[in-house]
Structure 1
Amino acid sequence: MRALILAVVLAVAGCSAQAAQETTRTAATPPELSATDLSGTDLAFVDLLIPQNTSALAALDLAEPGSALRPVAERVAATYRAELEQARAVLARTGRQESGQHEGHDMPGMITAAELASIRHSPDVDGQLRTLLRAQFEEARTVARAELASGTHPPVRDLGASIDRTRAEFLALLGAA
């Protein structure tokens, strides 16, 4: 009986060590993806996320020091930077470059250079920024839900779910700030 218990303990310990090694190896060197691992929806989502977040980061930097909006802007900016890293990592693992196809577009969720200039010269920077961020958060949720409805690659879908959830939280924070 003791031999059986010892064998089970050793087998479990061996499996745990092997699993830990695999987890470490996977975390350190993610497997390469082929371009076909991502659906058109996945790619479109990532291609749109990058300029949306980048344009929003430029706007978030304009939140006035000491205002109620500044802590919200800092929290949102940290999340956006992390999402950009994730999106760019997906592209890198597929061997794709950022397309840049949406940069500078005047479309929902994108904060334009003209809007940034308007904020900089506004007597109500935080008020204008709130309006732009609200629209950006709402559009980001729309795009994320499209990914959740039609995307196929689990990490990209997870990013979409996270964006949907965080933008709902950001909308609530924006209302409270």
Structure 2
Amino acid sequence: MRALVLAVVLVVAGCSAQAAQETSRTAATPPELSATDLAFVDLVIPQNTSTLDALALAKSGSPLRPVADRVTATYRAELAQLREVLAKTGRQESGQHEGHDMPGMITAAELASIEHAPDVDEQLRALLRIQFEEARTVARAELSSGRHRPVVELGASVDRTRAEFLALLGTP
């Protein structure tokens, strides 16, 4: 009987030690980002950054200024979240899409044309509309295929806020 009790104690102790080792290993290993999660992060960072540059062009007193202020606050908060996800997963910003001329990115040439345009608000509205629509497309891809919970949750937020921002811009 003593042998049986001793065997049970050793098995339980061994399982507890193994579970503790696995928990320790899991805690030390940063959570993984799926390819979709990483693509989402890699796109949203330069999209938001280029849009912040454009939002700075909204003139004080312009009807677009309150929208620009709201979008700016949201985009800055998202950038902080995205960078936190990268830090927690042991990754750095890739920068692979910086300066690309693709939907959702506001280019340096577009910024320059807005600065000197007589209808700054209308040009800015048009660029923002494209950016918000493309951000929703990217967010929906994350929602359908993403796996890392904080990134998926941010994707849901991006989809929702961009719909709100489109409504604030009004009809084209």
TM-score by length of 1: 0.79
Deviation at 1:33, TM superposition (A): 5.7
- Aligned residues with identical type, % of pairs: 78
Counterparts of 1:146 and 1:111 in 2: how far apart (Å)? 21
Which residue of the partner structure matches residue 174 of structure 1?
169
- Equivalent of 2:133 in 126, 134, 138: 138
**Structure with max Cα Rg:** 2
Question: Residue deviations 1:51-97, cap 9 Å, x none?
Answer: 00000000000001101100000000000000000000000111111
Which residue of the partner structure matches residue 84 of structure 2?
89
User: CA distance change for structure 1 residues 172 and 33 in 2, over 3 Å: closer, same or farther?
Assistant: farther
Counterparts of 2:159 and 2:54 in 1: how far apart (Å)? 20
Alignment-mate amino acid for residue 169 of structure 1? E
Deviation at 1:32, TM superposition (A): 6.5
Counterparts of 2:116 and 2:122 in 1: how far apart (Å)? 12
Which residue of the partner structure matches residue 111 of structure 1?
106
Matched, 1:34 2:30: yes
8 Å CA contact 1:47–1:98 kept in 2: the answer is yes
Which residue of the partner structure matches residue 10 of structure 2?
none
Deviation at 1:173, TM superposition (A): 0.5
Which residue of the partner structure matches residue 46 of structure 2?
51
Counterparts of 1:140 and 1:89 in 2: how far apart (Å)? 20
| Aligned pairs for 1:58-69 within 5 A | 58-69=53-64
SS in 1 for 2:93: coil
8 Å CA contact 1:33–1:93 kept in 2: the answer is no
User: CA distance change for structure 1 residues 125 and 141 in 2, over 3 Å: closer, same or farther?
Assistant: same
Cα RMSD (Å) of the superposition?
1.3
Alignment-mate amino acid for residue 86 of structure 1? Q
Counterparts of 2:83 and 2:42 in 1: how far apart (Å)? 9
Counterparts of 2:119 and 2:59 in 1: how far apart (Å)? 10
Moved over 3 A (4+): none
| Aligned pairs for 1:114-133 within 5 A | 114-133=109-128
User: CA distance change for structure 1 residues 118 and 172 in 2, over 3 Å: closer, same or farther?
Assistant: same
TM-score by length of 2: 0.82
Unaligned stretches of 5+ residues in structure 2? 1-26
